[in-house]
Structure 1
Amino acid sequence: MISFFYDTDSEINLEIAKEYGIENNAIRFPYSICGETFYADLGQTFDKKWFYSKINEGNVPTTSALNSEEFREYFEPEFEKGNEVFYVSFGTKFSAAFSMMDKTIEELKKKYPKLKFTRYDTKAISMGTGLLVISAAKALSEGKTVPEVIKLLDQLTPFINISLVVDDLSFLKRGGRLSAGKAFLGGILQLKPVIKLTKAGTLEPFQSISGKNKALKTVTQEAIENAKVNSELPFIIMNANCPEDALHIETVIRQSRPDLKIIQVDIGPVIGTHCGPGSIGLCFLGNERPESTKTED
């Protein structure tokens, strides 16, 4: 039997999870704010107004990886049953969590030498990962094997796009995606960076546009032109406590692309920690992802 896992960094909410029968399959990642630690739970207990209001008051949220014991609690019961574990995860480059997970699996192999474990790196995050989780869940429900699902995901992954407009540049500065000087200058000039998911599995700024409305108009038009119709995968609009912006974008897209199935998703606490309130993201199957602008060390 195949035991399927994904994680809450995919931003899949309870409604989507129930639609695909995976509401009990999520690995829950932690976040902390105001001295308390919480575990993401498909949005069931997430109070977005409270969370983002605390950020606006100056409270700095943080995220952290799971420890070895926590990974063990998810996987060992499946190995005890003799099940094969297949985990579709968010991108390796976004967290050090997976080095700890790999060590945990190696330890478990000593106890369960015949265990079968596969982690698929989506080279994405948020609903970029979520769309691939949806594809995997549906394929598994149709009886496909793990190698068959991996082949399907390999075909989709390079074409999963994310375009993100960040309203508050201080979050990019804190995360190392923008220098202090650029963040300061951008704040004065009201520049809004457009962040895109690359082939390498990184989120990088590709352009800065003066004013949030103009930035949103730019990414919306790009998405209208580039989004592909797929009967299985919806077009996702994500927002960090700015639903009015998200609804306006949906209206604009529907006027030009009535062929797309559009779903609205909240940006949850783990991702919201890094992009901040007021951010808008578009996630869809489209043209091939852009190359990374960074040079490898």
Structure 2
Amino acid sequence: MPDYVLSCCSTADLTHDWLESRNIKYIFFNYYLNGEVCKDDFGATNAPAELYAKMLAGAEAKTSQISAGDYMEHFEKFLADGKDVLHVTLSTGISGTYNSACTARDQLAEKYPDRKVVVIDSLAASSGYGLLMDRMADLRGSGMGIDELAAWAEEHKSEVQHWFFSSDLTFFVRGGRISKAAGLVGGMLKICPVMDVEPDGSLAVKEKIRTKAKAVNRVVEKMEELAEGGLDYSGKCFISQSECEDDAREVANRIEAKFPKLDGKVEIFPIGATIGVHTGPGTVALFFWGEKRA
């Protein structure tokens, strides 16, 4: 395996054990809960159920991107050990953390002139970002060098498809992503908006589906339409969910039945605190490789 560090942020919404098993290093995002700084550390500080219960009870939750100083500390321990770093950040369409990582890279360049830090904007979120990291770990394992892998990521990152729905609009309304009036009507009509991640890495409501059962059908249909190879899709499929594992398992069962050539079972991960603060409970997100987002 090439001797450089592959790194991401905890917002890839995988797990500590999964990242360790793939030898992917990571740095935690932070968030504020009633003014207290907490780490987005795969639920170790606040388990998802506890976090959402506090939010539903009225706790004020805000996200905080990683500072340039924190990135410098993260990168430097690898540079000082004589290793280059390829770091992939949460989408610039969601967070400004990419700029912080670039600032850290530039400030470390003079101190470590013989080493390099390469920073990539994933244009992805949650376990879709994780799906990109999974493929990059495979390519590094096959012998791809840091510059070649960075170029591959830039070329292919927009092929990660993100389709998700939410059965609880409370925190989409609080965060301003859906108006109060739309949220009220949506709740009365049992609207489950189906959303995606756009080519610029931002989130967008694509369809307003009435009832959760129809939203489940719709995200599976989107995979049928857009997956690489159609029903012969042979890549991996990840799902992330915020305290609605039964709904996520329903989507996974449908996917496994529809796509017999999948690379293994659909893997389901919890949505981490940084993303979960904005979605609240009730969100299911489906990720797979497909057409380039355009």
TM-score, L = length of structure 1: 0.88
1:279 to 266, 276, 283: 283
Q: Secondary structure at the match of 1:168?
A: coil
Q: Answer yes or no: is the 8 Å Cα contact 2:86–2:150 preserved in 1.
A: no
Partner of 1:142: 142
Q: Distance in 2 between matches of 1:53 and 1:3?
A: 37
Which letter maps to 1:134? D
CA contact (8 A) 2:163 2:197 kept: yes
Q: Provide closer, same or farther for how the CA distance between residues 223 and 46 of structure 1 changes in structure 2, counting only shifts above 3 A.
A: farther
Structure 1 partner of 2:187: 187
Q: Which amino acid aligns with 1:96?
A: G
Give the whole-Å Cα distance in 1 for the aligned partners of 2:130 and 2:171.
Answer: 23
For 1:6 and 1:222, the matched residues in 2 are separated by: 27
Q: Structure 1 residues 47 and 204 mapped into 2: Cα distance closer, same or farther (>3 Å)?
A: same
Q: Distance between the aligned counterparts of 2:170 and 2:206, measured in 1?
A: 17
C-alpha distance after superposition, 1:239-286 (max 9, x if no partner): 100111111222222222222231111112111111110111111112
Whole-angstrom distance in 2 between the partners of 1:103 and 1:288: 29
Corresponding residue of 1:249:
251
Shift of 1:43: 4.4
Q: How many residues align?
A: 287
Aligned to 1:7: 9
User: How far 1:58 moved relative to its partner?
Assistant: 2.2
Q: Give the 5 Å matches for 1:75-94.
A: 75-94=75-94
The corresponding residue for 2:270 is: 266
Aligned-residue Cα RMSD (Å) equals 2.2
Q: Secondary structure at the match of 2:41?
A: coil
Q: Alignment partner of 2:93: what SS? A: helix
Residue 148 of structure 1: how far off its partner (Å): 1.6
1:35 Cα deviation from its structure 2 partner: 4.1
User: How far apart, in 2, do the equivalents of 1:15 and 1:80 lie?
Assistant: 25
d(CA) in 1 for partners of 2:30, 2:85: 22
The CA deviation at 1:162 is: 0.7
Cα deviation 1:165-204 (Å, max 9, x = unaligned): 0222232233343233323332333222111011121111
Specify which of 277, 281, 292 is matched with residue 288 of structure 1.
Answer: 292
Unaligned runs of 5+ in 1: 292-297
Please list the CA deviations of residues 43-99 of structure 1 after superposition, one character each: whole Å capped at 9, or x if unmatched: 455512211221222223211012232122101222323321110222122112232
Q: Distance in 2 between matches of 1:21 and 1:111?
A: 26
Counterpart code for 1:265: F
Matched AA of 1:264: I
Between 161-170 and 180-189, report the one with greater CA deviation.
Answer: 180-189
| Cα contact 1:14–1:43 (8 A) shared by 2 | no
Distance 1:100 1:148, change over 3 A: closer
CA distance in 1 between counterparts of 2:281 and 2:188 reads 18
Match of 1:239 in 2: 241
Matched, 1:151 2:151: yes
Q: Structure 2: how far apart are the matches of 1:73 and 1:256?
A: 45
Greater mean alpha carbon deviation, residues 184-193 or residues 48-57: 184-193
Structure 1 position 230, deviation (Å): 6.2
Equivalent positions of 1:117-128 (< 5 A) are 117-128=117-128
Rounded to whole Å, the distance in 2 between the matches of 1:77 and 1:135 is 25
Q: CA deviation at 1:227?
A: 2.7
2:226: which partner in 1? 226
8 Å contact from structure 1 (residues 87, 119) kept in 2: yes
Could you say which residue in structure 1 is the equivalent of 2:102? 102
Task: Tell me the SS of whatever aligns to 2:150.
Answer: helix
After TM superposition, give the deviation of residue 213 of structure 1 in Å: 2.0
* Separation in 1, partners of 2:188, 2:174: 18
**Any gaps of 5 or more consecutive residues in structure 2?**
none
* 1:270 match: secondary structure: helix
How far has the Cα of 1:159 moved from its partner?
Answer: 1.7
C-alpha distance in 2, partners of 1:138/1:13?
17
